[in-house]
C-alpha cells in the first residue's frame, strides 16, 4: 500500500532563516506531487505541483521554491522566510488510475 | 475561472441525525470531485471520489452525489456520530490534475 511522509511535523523558525520541508511517497511510482499551504482559518492554497522528476509548476509567486530530485521525493524550500510564510504545509500525491489525491500529515511552520 | 462554494460554513446537529453538506462549482468541465475530512491540526483524509462520468459513490454511512450539469455535489452522512465532527472539504479536479477547493463546512455533532 502507498504511504506519504512529511517532516518535520512542527517547525519554529526566525524571519530571514532558510527552510527545507521534505515529503516522500512509498508504494507507487511516477506520482503527481503537490505542495499546499493552509493559513490559519483559511482554505488550501496550491503552491507547487510536479508531474515528474525535475518538472515543477508554480501556482503562486512568492519566496518559496520546490524541487523533485527523485521520483518520490518533493522538497519545499526558502532562502529567507517571511512572517507571512507561517502556516500548515501539506504534501499530497496522486496517481493512476483515478488520480485521487492523498495527503501527508502536514508540517506546522511558525515564523517568528 | 472555476469557483467552488460550500454551504453551510458551519453546522451543529444532535447525534443520530442524518445530514447533508452542499458543494457547488461554476464550471462543469471537471475531471472528478473529491470530498475530504480534516480534523483540527491534522492533514486531510480522502472520503469519496466521484469521477465526472459517475452520479454517486458510497462508503459506509457516507454517500456523495454529483450533478455535473447543475454544478452541484452533496455529501450525505447517515446516523451522525460525535466522531464525525470535523471540517469537510469539497474539491473539483481540472484536466491538469489540480484541485480547486471550497472553504469547507465545519461540522459539530453534539452527543
Q: Are A60 and A47 in contact (CB under 8 A)?
A: yes
Q: State the smallest CA–CA distance between residue B108 and chain A in angstroms.
A: 16
Structure confidence at residue A61 (pLDDT):
64
CA torsion A44-B25-A33-B60 (nearest 10°) is 90
Of the listed ranges A16-20, A37-41, B84-88, the one predicted with least confidence: A37-41
Confidence check: pLDDT of A40 > 80: no
Q: What are phi and psi of B57, to 5 degrees?
A: -140, 145
Return the pLDDT at A25.
96
| CA–CA dist A30, B3 (Å, integer) | 29
Q: Which of B42, B93, B103 sits opposite A99 (nearest CB)?
A: B93
The 10s digit of each residue's pLDDT in B14-55 is: 999 999 999 999 999 999 999 999 998 888 999 999 999 999
- Whether the predicted pLDDT of A97 surpasses 90: no
Q: How far is CA A65 from CA A11, A45, A97, in A?
A: 18, 15, 29
Residue A41 has pLDDT above 80, yes or no: no
pLDDT(B75) > 80: yes
pLDDT at B86 over 70: yes
Facing A100 at nearest CB: one of B42, B43, B46: B46
The CA distance from A16 to the nearest CA of chain B, in Å, is 25
DSSP string, chain A: --EEEEE-SEEEE-TT--EEEEEEEES-SS-EEEEEEE-TT--EEEEEEEEETTEEEESS-SSEEEEEEETTEEEEEESS--GGG-EEEEEEEE-TTT---EE---EEEEE-
Nearest CB neighbour to A32, from listed B44, B89, B97 = B97
Those of residues 33-92 in B touching chain A at CB distance below 8 A are 34, 36, 41-46, 49, 51, 89, 91
Question: Are B97 and A43 inside 8 Å of each other by CB?
Answer: no
d(CA B17, CA B4): 26
Question: What's the confidence (pLDDT) of residue A98?
Answer: 77
Amino acid at each position: 500500500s502507498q504511504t506519504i511522509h512529511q517532516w518535520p511535523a512542527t517547525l519554529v523558525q526566525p524571519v530571514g532563516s532558510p527552510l527545507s520541508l521534505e515529503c516522500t511517497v512509498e508504494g507507487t511510482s511516477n506520482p503527481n506531487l503537490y505542495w499546499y499551504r493552509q493559513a490559519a482559518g483559511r482554505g488550501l492554497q496550491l503552491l507547487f505541483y510536479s508531474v515528474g522528476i525535475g518538472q515543477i509548476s508554480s501556482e503562486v509567486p512568492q519566496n518559496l521554491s520546490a524541487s523533485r530530485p527523485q521520483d518520490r521525493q518533493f522538497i519545499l524550500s526558502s532562502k529567507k522566510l517571511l512572517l507571512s510564510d507561517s502556516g500548515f504545509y501539506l504534501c499530497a500525491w496522486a496517481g493512476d488510475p483515478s488520480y485521487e489525491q492523498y495527503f501527508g500529515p502536514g508540517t506546522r511552520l511558525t515564523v517568528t | 475561472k472555476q469557483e467552488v462554494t460550500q454551504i453551510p460554513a458551519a453546522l451543529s446537529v444532535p447525534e443520530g441525525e442524518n445530514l447533508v453538506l452542499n458543494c457547488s462549482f461554476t464550471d462543469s468541465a471537471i475531471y472528478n470531485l473529491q470530498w475530504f475530512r480534516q480534523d483540527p491540526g491534522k492533514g486531510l483524509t480522502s472520503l469519496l471520489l466521484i469521477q465526472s462520468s459517475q452520479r454517486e459513490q458510497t462508503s459506509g454511512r457516507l454517500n456523495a452525489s454529483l450533478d455535473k450539469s447543475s454544478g452541484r455535489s452533496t455529501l450525505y452522512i447517515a446516523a451522525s456520530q460525535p466522531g464525525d465532527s470535523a471540517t469537510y472539504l469539497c474539491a473539483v479536479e481540472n484536466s491538469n490534475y489540480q484541485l480547486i477547493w471550497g472553504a469547507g463546512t465545519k461540522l459539530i455533532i453534539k452527543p
